[in-house]
Amino acid sequence: MLPPVYVPPVLSTPVEVQHRSEKNLAQAIVLIVLVLSGVLGFLFYNLAQSNGGILQTAAAASDRSAASSAVDNIRATCISTSTDTSGLPYSATVYITYGLSNLSQYSMDSTWQLTIDYTGAGVVLASSTTFHLPANGVAYPRWQFTMTYSQISALGSATNRNFVVSIDLLFTVHGNYGTYDFNRHASYDSTTNTSTGTVSSSGGGSLPSC
């Protein structure tokens, strides 16, 4: 029986050690690149989402501004009045119809409260109407003022027939990013022939009958 033969261990050559180090380094670099790619992709995705929110917020703000501008550019097209005196001597009713034109892409629902205060006669008349104004469309809201016998008498016997007209307007505008509420107010004093407040409809000069 032969004695065991001693075989010395095979040592890696410097070249093999260098190749193994380069392989480990390459694997580490690939791992780092993958991690960075994932992190950067996540960050860029979140940034895009954030920017999308910012852009949407800016668009919504622009939409609201345009809706407000649409309210302030409503055009007055006509006006008509009629009177029902069949209730005399107890009462009489006056109707006022106002034509409005909406030149914008925004439809809106609106309520207008109209008050006429004959300060010298102590007579106050008020009427409110709600109507829909379609986009690029027209509406003809109408107000009804019914005067009692005592109001008619007071107005007829008054030496001072000056008056103050005030109008309060509420608009709900249907925009692309939501609905927006706007308030407007205007008044006119016949004593001084002056008007104040915000004006929501435009159109100068005398208007034709509706």
Per-residue pLDDT for the chain (210 aa), expressed as one digit of tens each? 445 544 455 445 554 545 555 565 556 556 656 555 555 555 555 544 445 555 567 788 899 999 999 999 999 999 999 999 898 889 999 999 999 999 999 999 999 999 999 998 999 999 999 999 999 999 999 999 998 999 989 988 889 989 999 999 999 999 999 999 999 999 999 999 988 876 555 554 578 998
Residue 188 in domain: yes
Q: Residue 155's domain is classified under what CATH number?
A: 2.60.40.10
**pLDDT score at 172:** 98
Q: How many domains does the chain have?
A: 1
**Cis-peptide into 14, omega within 30 deg:** no
Residue 207 in domain: no
Residue 59 in domain: yes
Give 3's contacts (C-beta < 8 A, 6+ positions apart).
none
Residue 208 in domain: no
**pLDDT score at 39:** 53
Residue 169 in domain: yes
Residue 92 in domain: yes
Residue 87 belongs to domain spanning: 17-201
pTM, 2 dp: 0.70
Tokens representing residue 2 in the block: 């032969």
Three-state SS sequence of the chain:
CCCCCCCCCCCCCHHHHHHHHHHHHHHHHHHHHHHHHHHHHHHHHHHHHHHHHHHHHHHHHHHHHHHHHHHHCEEEEEEEEEEECCCCCCEEEEEEEEEEECCCCCEEEEEEEEEEEECCCCEEEEEEEEEEECCCCEECCEEEEEEEHHHHHHHHHCCCCCCEEEEEEEEEEECCCCEEEEEEEEEEECCCCEEEECCCEECCCCCCCC
